[in-house]
Amino acid sequence: MIYAFLSQKGGVGKTTLSIHTAAELTRRKRRVLLIDADPQGSALSWSNCREDAMFIVVGMPKATLHKEIEAISADYDDVVIDGPPRAAEIAKSIILAADLVVIPLQPSPLDVWEATKTLDLIREAQVFRPEIRCCLAINRRIVNTAIGRDVRLALRELDVPVLKTDIGQRVAFAESAAQGGTVIDAADSKAADEIKRFVNELRRIK
């Protein structure tokens, strides 16, 4: 399965969700490859902070990714692609390579508007590959606020599945990333539970 985290907007948490999805799939004994397709290379930087490789991370910010994905993914059960913002040609290649495109967004009107731009790219690609699936994921929701609920109402108009699991705005994500770790390392944390439920949902999408 090839999961791509993509948004034309920066700062929505694509890298965090990519790393944690790859980590949770690895915890489930899946062979996982994480492709860092963002020229900023944040996932690669995270990987370089680790003494041991939790999973393989490679940098491929290339508009030919969809042509190369079959060859580089042959030895893995799952591939997770961390996509760049504002790089339309790379984004189009990522979409064509993916089985499922996940569009993260923060609970704000600006993010909802920006999500439509990514959806437009996906719909263009579906002309060539109708089997490409997509969903929306609410990330960095501030706990105990109504804004996540309000955004869900706005997202109904996009006619795209929205994951039920929101990922909260938690310090644990930043703290673990600084050490090359993940929140999953603290298995009993609320953040780890959110990631596990999040990945459960992704794996149920057919």
If DSSP codes are grouped into helix, strand and coil, which group holds residue 142?
A: coil
Low-confidence ranges of the chain (pLDDT < 50): none
Answer yes or no: are the C-beta atoms of 44 and 57 closer than 8 Å. yes
Q: What is the pLDDT of residue 57?
A: 97
Q: Give residue 198's pLDDT.
A: 96
Amino acid at 68: E
In the prediction, which pLDDT does 69 show?
96
Three-state SS across the chain?
Answer: CEEEECCCCCCCCHHHHHHHHHHHHHHCCCCEEEEECCCCCHHHHHHHCCCCCCCEEEECCCCCHHHHHHHHCCCCCEEEEECCCCCHHHHHHHHHHCCEEEEEECCCHHHHHHHHHHHHHHHHHHCCCCCCEEEEEECCECCCCCHHHHHHHHHHHHCCCECCCCCECCHHHHHHHHCCCCHHHCCCCHHHHHHHHHHHHHHHCC
Domains in the chain, CATH or no CATH each: 2-200 (3.40.50.300)
Report pLDDT for 109.
Answer: 80
Give me the pLDDT at residue 188, please.
64
CA distance 176 to 50: 11
Q: Please tell me whether residue 43 adopts helix, strand or coil conformation.
A: helix
pLDDT of residue 145: 61
| Spatial strand order in the sheet of 78-82 | 56-59, 32-36, 78-82, 2-5, 100-105, 133-138
